[in-house]
Each structure stands twice: as C-alpha cells, then as structure tokens.
Structure 1
Amino acid sequence: MAEAVRKLNSAETPLYREAPNNIEAEQALLGAVLVNNDAFYRVSDFLKSSHFYEPLHRKIYDVLAELIRMGKMANPVTIKTFLPADEKVGDMTVAQYLARLAAEAVTVINAADYGRAIYDLATRRALITVGEDMVNIAYDAPVDMAPSEQIEDAERRLFELAETGRYDGGFESFSDAVKTAIDMASAAYMRDGHLSGIATNLHDLDKRMGGLQSSDLIVLAGRPGMGKTSLATNIAFNIANAYEPAQQADGSFKAKNGGVVGFFSLEMSAEQLATRIISEQAEIPSSKIRRGDMTESDFEKLVVCTQTLQKIPLFIDSTGGISIAQLAARSRRLKRQRGLDVLVIDYIQLMQGSSAKSSQNRVQEITEITTGLKALAKELNVPIIALSQLSRQVENREDKRPQLSDLRESGSIEQDADVVLFVYREEYYLKNKEPKPGTDEYIKWEGEMNEAKGKAECIIAKQRHGPTGTVSLAFTGEFTRFSDLAEEHHLPERFE
C-alpha cells in the first residue's frame, strides 16, 4: 500500500490531466478585438463564446460581439459596465484586466490564427468528452442499448462535432436564428435565379418551390411507369452538374451553385443508373447503349458525354434493403469526407427499419423510416428527396391523378414530409386504352393522345412553405428525360 502511495505521489505520475487550453491565445485575441473591432470579423463566422476555456473570457467575447454587431465601439471603457464589477482576476479587478488585455494586444493580422487555435482546442476538449462517454457507456453496458446503437450514437456525435466544432445540441438564442434567416435571404438575393434553395434546373418547379430547401424531406411519389426514378436522376444530375465550390473563412468548401449529391439506389444497380444518365445526356436510347446498337457518331457522342460525367460530384450507393441506421451512418461519412448538399433515396418501400419490433409491422416500420429520414435531413442540413410507391387504388378511379390518400402503407409519409410531389403522365394511361382504328372513339382518342404526348405533370400536393398546384413538364420517353415545357404562350413571337 505504501509503495502504491509513493508511486502516486512521484513526479512521474501527474495527479490529473488538464483539458487542452491556451489562455494566452484567448487573451491575445480578446486584446486584438478591444484595440481594433475589425479583428472580430476575422473570427466571428467560426468562433463562438463557448469555444473559450476561461468563463470570464466567454462573457467578454459575448459582450464584444453584441456591441460590435450593433455598430457600437467596443473597448475596455465601454464594455466594463456589462461585466460583473466585483469579480476578481487574481489581484486585479475586471476593469484593470480589460485594460491589461488591450495594452498587451497583438496586431489584427494574427487575430484569425489565434481564433483558429482557440477553436481547435475547444474541438479537442469536446472530443475528450465524447471519448469519455463512449468508454463509460461501453463499461456500464446498459441492457437496452445494443453495441450497434452505441456506435451509431458515437458516430452521430462525432459527425456533429466535425460539422459545428462543438457538441451540445441545446437551445440557441432567437437572435442567432434571425441572423441565419437573414443570411439565407441575402444568399437567395445574390444567387442566380434568386432561389433560397438548391436549383433543380426545372425552372417552373423551382419558381413554385424556391429550389430544394435545406433540412426538408421531399417525397416524390407515383405509380410504376410514371417516371419517378427518371425525374429523381434528372434532378440529381442537374444539381451535381451545376456544382461550383466556394471556399469559406475556416478553410472548408461550400457549394455556391449546385451541390454534391448522394444517391441511394435500392432498386437499380449503380451501372444501370449511370446508363440512364448517359442516355439522357447523350440523347441515345438506353436500350441501344445496352445492346451496343450504335452508329460511330453515337459512340463518339457517348465518349464525350462520359468524360464530362466522370467529373461531376454524384455518389451512388446501390446496397439493397439498407436500414435507416446504415443509411444515416453512410450519409454522415459522405458529408464528412466529400461534402453533401442533396440526398436522394430510391425508394422508401425498399428500406428496412432498424428495430426488431417495427419489422413485424410494416406501417410501424415505414413510420420509423420516414421519421428517421426527416431527422437526418435536419441533422445533415440538406434536402432529402425520398421516392415512394403509391397504392393500387389510383387505378380504380376514373381520374388517375394521385392524391395524398394514395401514399402507400402509412400516413406518416404525408405527415413527416415537408413537400409531397406526384408524377403523373396522362400519355401512359391513354396508350393502354387504344380503341380500334377507324372508329369515332379512335379519332377522339388520337386527339387526346396528341394533346398528352410528351407531357407530364408534377403535382405539388403538399408544401410547408409555399403554394400547392401543378407544374407542367416535358417528358422524352426514349431518353427518360424531364425538361421545361415550352408552352405556346412562352414561345417567342412568330411571323408567317
């Protein structure tokens, strides 16, 4: 026992390890801001008061930030009234401490470097917290928490830390929320097309929805043969093809236009999906590509198109029957490693729930999946386009246009979705009703067919932040391509 105590008291073994911090860097940064308020704007977009280790420094930074954002002068004299007068820093008062910080201030040029040092140390402290929690939970091993659940929780916390530089998930002040809303409005004003969300490049749809909004769950539904997957691949390609990165103040990249797209294809293989996109872009029917039935000029077109396509940030995962937990983990990984701006899932009914209970009841399972997708959209702060099948009751109606009540297996799809889009093509149903040629019915059918040919409807049945209604699109069946419809009143004036 005496030996153990002697070892514990020896100089080799420290009694405790202090969390990583750098008080001098914090003092230098605060001093720089007190001397020249412009230094604040070098760090304000990534450094928060919670990143400071010393509680008094957090208070000082908060007061500085508030005064500077209000356009007022922030110096040792103006901010001392907002800080506790009776607090002591060693043998100094707070007012004397502020004066000392300003007197020993560094130049403004170094402000960003000090800010990054403080930010990195705060991230390391948060990592220690996550690591300690992981170890403690793994030792205690609660009965109701399976190891896979703990891995998922740890991955989520690490992802949040990688994204925000801290792990708290608590309340944020309304002023922060207002600031974010104003930033979004200003970004929309500056962006091409004045959209607050990500442009799909289907202009009528963008106008109605304002683009794809971050953290929205967008359900795209339709009966088989309507072109759900085609519309989803068209939108995914348009976004990835328009991708333009812009560097942020903290060195990371963010999409200025377009975005990085993750595509979970549970129905088709990655190669089948790629063939569809090549067919659409090169304007060669996919059946011809598969059979190799191409002319020399077609093949040249294919090669040129493939070279362009290889550069776009579109990532495909074709694992069948993926669970919501696996999908969330892979999406977080993609965002961390390559970035992520839009996620597409084809389709909800092919996914599995994570818990054993829900897999016994299909409605419960779909509820778990849609709730999980909505939570993931908020966590990753990206729009998620999830495709969904519709029930057969559509086929029994005279008017085959889908309604919200047709969403299959669960009301939770309608409930959790921020936007519900239906794809409908009259041409598909008319084709199957062809009467005998030469009859009056045939002439009537032919007129209807000509009217519906090459047209599709995208019905916005639900939208949390915008109007509902129908958008007309053009559909080219042989290339499975949706595009803007050139309506008669949109065409330029013609002279005979």
Structure 2
Amino acid sequence: MNEISSIPAGQVQPTDADTMPHSIEAEQQLLGAILTNNDVFERVSSIIQPEHFYDPVHALIYETASARIAKNALASPVTLKAFLEDDPGLQELGGPAYLARLAGAAISAFAARDYAQMIYDFAIRRELIGLGQDIAAKAGRVEIDSEPTEQIVQAEQKLYALAEKGQAERGFQSFLSAVTEAVNTANAAYQRDGGLSGVSTGLIDLDKKLGGLHRSDLLILAGRPSMGKTSLATNIAFNVAKAYRKGALQDGTEGAVNGGVVGFYSLEMSAEQLAARILSEASEIPSQQIRSGDMTEGEFRRFVEAAKSLEACPLYIDDTPALPISQLSARARRLKRTHGLDVLIIDYLQLVRGTGKGENRVNEISEITMGLKAIAKELDIPVIALSQLSRQVENRDDKRPQLSDLRESGSIEQDADVVMFVYRAEYYKEREKPADHELDKIALWQEEMEALHGKADVIIGKQRHGPIGDVQLSFEGRFTRFGNLVQQWQGGGGSGDTEF
C-alpha cells in the first residue's frame, strides 16, 4: 500500500471470498484528480461522502480536502500536509509523500464522476452485505423479545435509509459535517422568501413565531373537542400542498423548493370526509351544504372548479383506523420513496396503537411519541401530531390550555420539539349567554362576543428552538377555516384570511 498500485484504475482488486467489494485504485485516482484540480470536487460531491470510501485514510483525505474547498481555499498535497502529517494511518502509507504520489499518479479528471460512482456503488454493496448478514443472524436467533414482524420493520427501515442516504446505519459524524449542514440550513432560510428555514404553514404570524415547520421536528397540536385541531391541521396541509413547487436543491438532487408533499393519517375521519372539509375551505361553501347537496348552481360550479384545481395537489390521505406505530412508520417510508414526503400529519395521537406489549397506557403513549420523533429524524421531515386534552380544562374558570392538560402529558411534552394549543374563547363565551331578561348582562355579553368573533389563538406552550407565546388567527366557522388575522393598524379594521 506504500506505492500506488499498478492494477489498472477501475478494476476491482483480486479478493478472496471474505473481502468486501472495493476498489482502492478508483479511490486513489479520484483523490489524485481532486488534489490536482479542485474543480473536480464540484462534479463528485453530490455522489459520494467520506463514509463511502473503503480506506479510512482516503476518507480522511477526502473530508479534509472538501473542507478546504468549501472555504474557497486550495486543497493540494502541500496544503493538506499540515492537517494530515501526524495522522497514524497516513504515516503507515508513507506519510505526506503519499499525497504527492496520489496527485502525481492521477491520469485524467474527465473520468472523475465514473470513479466516484464506482466508489459509491461498492459502498452500497458493502452495506447490503452487512445488512443481509445482520438480517440472517437475527432471523436465526429465536427470541421471545424479537418478533418476526418487528424484524421485517427494522430491515425495511435500514433498507430505506440505505436507499435514501447511502448508509444503513449512521454512527458518529464529525463536527465539520454537522457544521456544514447547519450552514446549509441557514443559507436556505436566507435565500427563501420570508426568511423561513422551514416549510411555510401559509399562516404568516404562525410562521414568524415558529420559523416554519422544521425538518426532523415533532410538533404536537393539542386542544379540546370543537376547538378546531383537525381544521387547523387540514388548513396547514392544504397550504403546504398547494404551494408545492419542485426544483433542483442545493445538493444537486430534486425536491420541494417551495411547499411540499403532505402525508395525512386520518385515524378518526374517512378520507372522503377530510377531502370534503378541504373542498369546503377552497370553494368557500359550508361543509353542511356539501354533505346535504344543498347548493345553488353557482355554488356547485364553484365546488367542481375547486375540486379540479386540487386534483394535482400532492396531498396523500391514509384513513386506516387504529394503525400501529410500526405500520405508520413503514407506510410513511414507502410514501417518501414513491411520491416524496415533506410534511407528515397524524390525526390524532391517541388513536395510534403501540406494539401491544405494554399494559400501561402511559407507557404506550411514550412508545408512540418516541416512534413519531424517530420518523421525523429518519425521514428528515416535520411531523405534526394532533392530541386530545384532558377534561380538567373544563373544570377551571380560565379555559386556556397549558402543558399539564396534555393527556399522558409526560412523554408527549418530553419528546415534542413544539407543543401548540388551539384555543377559541368565542366557543366558551357563547355557552355563557345570560338569560334573555337580564338585559344589562346580555348587552355586555354581546359586546364581548363581538370582540371575540372570528378569532382564535394558537398558544405555543413549548418550543425547543424558539420563543413561546400566542399567535392570533382568524377563524371562519362556516368553512372551518383558519387564516391570517388582519390587525386594525394594517388596514381593513377586521379579520381577513389567506386566499385559497
């Protein structure tokens, strides 16, 4: 290994049956081309990462060179020598002189992408071999705690990760790569209209408070019945799907440059009922009229036109009841592989099933919230899970919800990155109407109702990476639609909505 091998580049080394597939020569040729001409790096950086190299020294050289090039600094045998000369692995190969031999033996830069693709393919083959051996070993061990169905889910999870990211399992990563990802996220926010680092909800004030929906975050949207949890979730889903624009991302791959593909698990309502709700919002025809068919010709025409405009919306609904968390994860992975997935919504958390091993409901909810957070991290998407609140809210004079009102609150509060509550004071005030003969009280009640009419609060009770506080939205009960509230100082003097 001290000398560059004389085996022709691109040809696999003779190996015995136990040696993993690799090509040291292809790695040497690629590194040599990069050290000779840094422009080559731009052509291969979207194909391979340091972990795809078979030789750990080559991985280190590639990572150090990429860090130099990212700073617009020269990556050559001379400049890399200062960073690598004390590395014991490089010393085994002959020290800094090995870098010079790599550059000197590089034949041509035009074949760099071919070499990069070969290195990547060999890395995938090694991962597949390791994954296959792991699956076979686990299947061969008959253990009570390891059910075959669970093994299938785990194998599918690792195969998905391998297909998506070129790695079945991700261990430690260097601080350098973590910093690079953080800078890319900040740059995306800087480039995007409105300065959001996450996906826009379509609700301006909510976006300002959250910075959009962030990848790998678990967001809990909670509220008492009739507060509008599902309505707000469908509004967000519709806004994200409607804004979807596909294009080239910074890493060279294709994806959502605006909006996103939305997956919606509707465990309570059927897909048809959910679609009717979204059509009600879009066509501005009350849901009750749609259900009963009580529409004028003009309204029906508007309803059909809204349905046609929504046909192309990338919104996918799964209304299978009582889904186990393992099935929910598997279906989300499949959706991302087949159609893409940028936001996942679950309505609602308490209707998801655990593995069934735990008799304690609190432990089961803990397993579910941990599973949802794992989906968010694995698929690198925001996951919004709706949640019921306990009845103790109704027993208080102040009906505004708080974190302790979450059912089985410990694990939900702990695993969530954001906890939001939907609160409509108008709903409770309406039920406090005085008797008709109490004229003074009626007048005061009407005045208070007017002030609260058409308004809703989203209370952010927890946000791991940002501020907590209230966001005021408009609410149109007829269409179960939330929108942006137009403040008096902004003109209009009342409440208004986003256009649908």
Could you tell me which residue of structure 2 aligns to residue 371 of structure 1? 370
Deviations 1:294-351 (A, max 9, x none): 1221122122211121111111111111111111111111112221111100011111
Could you tell me which residue of structure 2 aligns to residue 406 of structure 1? 405
More moved, 475-484 vs 48-57: 48-57
Aligned pairs for 1:31-42 (under 5 A) are 31-42=32-43
Could you tell me which residue of structure 2 aligns to residue 171 of structure 1? 172
Q: Contact between 1:240 and 1:258, CA under 8 Å: does it hold in 2? A: yes
More moved, 70-79 vs 223-232: 70-79
Q: Contact between 1:458 and 1:470, CA under 8 Å: does it hold in 2? A: yes
Whether 2:465 is the aligned partner of 1:465: answer yes
Q: Contact between 1:242 and 1:257, CA under 8 Å: does it hold in 2? A: yes
Aligned pairs for 1:66-145 (under 5 A) are 66-79=67-80, 82-83=84-85, 87-88=92-93, 95=97, 98-99=100-101, 101-107=103-109, 109-145=110-146
Could you tell me which residue of structure 2 aligns to residue 267 of structure 1? 268
Query: SS where residue 478 of structure 2 aligns?
Result: helix
How many Å apart are 1:440 and its aligned residue? 1.6
Partner letter of residue 398 of structure 2? D
CA distance in 1, matches of 2:492, 2:449: 26
Q: Which sections of structure 1, spanning at least 5 residues, go unmatched?
A: 1-13
Q: Contact between 1:87 and 1:94, CA under 8 Å: does it hold in 2? A: no
CA distance in 2, matches of 1:73, 1:436: 82
More moved, 56-65 vs 323-332: 56-65
**CA shift in 2, pair 1:75/1:477, >3 Å:** same
Partner letter of residue 105 of structure 1? I
**CA shift in 2, pair 1:18/1:395, >3 Å:** same
Could you tell me which residue of structure 2 aligns to residue 475 of structure 1? 475
Q: Which sections of structure 2, spanning at least 5 residues, go unmatched?
A: 1-14, 495-500
How many Å apart are 1:144 and its aligned residue? 2.2
How many Å apart are 1:100 and its aligned residue? 5.8
**CA shift in 2, pair 1:435/1:127, >3 Å:** same
**CA shift in 2, pair 1:203/1:88, >3 Å:** closer
**CA shift in 2, pair 1:449/1:123, >3 Å:** same
Query: SS where residue 461 of structure 2 aligns?
Result: strand
Could you tell me which residue of structure 2 aligns to residue 5 of structure 1? none
Q: TM-score, normalised by structure 1?
A: 0.90
Deviations 1:165-220 (A, max 9, x none): 11332111112211111111111010011011111010011111111111111111
More moved, 39-48 vs 58-67: 58-67
Q: Contact between 2:369 and 2:411, CA under 8 Å: does it hold in 1? A: yes
Deviations 1:410-455 (A, max 9, x none): 3211222111111111111122222233522111111111111111
How many Å apart are 1:39 and its aligned residue? 0.8
Partner letter of residue 165 of structure 2? T
Aligned pairs for 1:2-41 (under 5 A) are 16=17, 18-41=19-42
Partner letter of residue 441 of structure 1? K
CA distance in 2, matches of 1:417, 1:79: 43
More moved, 393-402 vs 199-208: 393-402
Deviations 1:228-287 (A, max 9, x none): 000000001101111112234776422111111111100000110000000100101111
**CA shift in 2, pair 1:114/1:270, >3 Å:** same
Could you tell me which residue of structure 2 aligns to residue 290 of structure 1? 291
Query: SS where residue 479 of structure 1 aligns?
Result: coil
**CA shift in 2, pair 1:280/1:152, >3 Å:** same
Query: SS where residue 413 of structure 2 aligns?
Result: helix
CA distance in 1, matches of 2:214, 2:481: 23
User: Would you identify which runs of 4 or more consecutive aligned residues in structure 1 move more than 6 Å?
Assistant: none
Q: Contact between 2:29 and 2:102, CA under 8 Å: does it hold in 1? A: no
CA distance in 2, matches of 1:492, 1:302: 28
Could you tell me which residue of structure 1 aligns to residue 442 of structure 2? 442
Q: CA RMSD in A?
A: 2.3
**CA shift in 2, pair 1:391/1:43, >3 Å:** same
CA distance in 2, matches of 1:291, 1:322: 31
CA distance in 2, matches of 1:222, 1:132: 47
Aligned pairs for 1:298-313 (under 5 A) are 298-313=299-314
Could you tell me which residue of structure 1 aligns to residue 221 of structure 2? 220
**CA shift in 2, pair 1:434/1:370, >3 Å:** same
Could you tell me which residue of structure 2 aligns to residue 187 of structure 1? 188
Query: SS where residue 303 of structure 2 aligns?
Result: helix
CA distance in 2, matches of 1:73, 1:481: 55
Deviations 1:112-159 (A, max 9, x none): 333223212211221111111111211223332111111121111112
**CA shift in 2, pair 1:453/1:42, >3 Å:** same
CA distance in 2, matches of 1:454, 1:85: 69
Partner letter of residue 451 of structure 1? A
Q: Contact between 1:35 and 1:105, CA under 8 Å: does it hold in 2? A: no
How many Å apart are 1:51 and its aligned residue? 0.8
How many Å apart are 1:472 and its aligned residue? 0.8
**CA shift in 2, pair 1:62/1:425, >3 Å:** closer
CA distance in 2, matches of 1:243, 1:474: 24
How many Å apart are 1:59 and its aligned residue? 3.8
**CA shift in 2, pair 1:354/1:86, >3 Å:** closer
CA distance in 1, matches of 2:396, 2:80: 71
Whether 2:491 is the aligned partner of 1:491: answer yes
How many Å apart are 1:17 and its aligned residue? 6.3
Could you tell me which residue of structure 2 aligns to residue 241 of structure 1? 242
**CA shift in 2, pair 1:248/1:117, >3 Å:** farther
Q: TM-score, normalised by structure 2?
A: 0.89
More moved, 42-51 vs 132-141: 42-51
Could you tell me which residue of structure 2 aligns to residue 428 of structure 1? 427
How many Å apart are 1:27 and its aligned residue? 3.1
CA distance in 1, matches of 2:128, 2:56: 19
Q: Contact between 2:77 and 2:96, CA under 8 Å: does it hold in 1? A: no
CA distance in 1, matches of 2:393, 2:243: 36
Query: SS where residue 486 of structure 1 aligns?
Result: coil
Q: Percent identity?
A: 55
